Amino acid sequence: MGDPSLSYLHKLSRGLQVDPTDLYLMAGYTEGHELPGFAPYLRAKYELPPEAVEQLSAYFDFINAKYVNTSNSKGGEP
């Protein structure tokens, strides 16, 4: 069996209510070594409404940006 097609993954993402990009990454459709987003984990692990998943994802993006900027300005790891 070959790799799943992008159209199949897109349909699957709608059924699972996940971001299709996350499924593309999990299936290996990327040149880099990126990890899937945090939202699919939150949806799978916790029974949260979509608004809560969006808020948590945004908060983690905020925290990540804060510490990435801090570590870059200090020239090292936080």
Decide if 40 contacts 22 (C-beta within 8 A).
Answer: yes
| pLDDT recorded at residue 2 | 66
For residue 55, the model assigns a pLDDT of 93
Q: Give the Cβ contact number of residue 39 at 10 Å.
A: 19
Tell me the pTM. 0.45
pLDDT along the chain (78 residues), means of 10: 74 86 76 61 81 90 81 48
Instruction: Return the pLDDT at 24.
Output: 78
